[in-house]
Amino acid sequence: MWKYILAWFPMIFIAIANGLFREKFLISHLNELRAHQISTVNMILLFGIYVWILFKVWLPMSVNQTILIGLVWLVLTIGFEFLFGHYVVGHSWDTLLDDYNILQGRVWILVLIWVFIAPYIIYQVQKQ
């Protein structure tokens, strides 16, 4: 399981690169909400590609392991998002929580759902 915990760390760099793309390119061409939404889709696609490649190298041993991987990655992602976002980037807690307001078009929660279920889905597809 340790290798999958270590494998989570490159996801930070993928997320930061995606965030920079959103801030430097998308926001200059779109409004902030639309940039957020497109960035969310980009993140889901990038994480999917990463997990696909990762599982080609380190295929999990069982369905149960994929569920555990997804759960651990979810906890790490949420922890990083709030700790890095607040203490390093300087966002307020309210700003960070606003990304979870799906009623206002904020779809970040879809990334978190994907982080949790992607290991299971990709394992199932690759196993066939």
Exposure string for 11-42, b = 16+ CB within 10 A, e = fewer: beeebeebeebbeeebeeeeeeeebbbbbbeb
Nearest-angstrom CA–CA distance, 31 and 65: 40
pLDDT band at 47 (very low <50, low <70, confident <90, very high): very high
Q: Specify the pLDDT at position 99.
A: 86
pLDDT at 41: 97
Structure pTM? 0.91
Domain hosting 74: range is 2-127
**What is residue 128's predicted lDDT score, i.e. its pLDDT?**
82
CA pair distance 94, 83, nearest whole angstrom: 13
* Domain count along the chain: 1
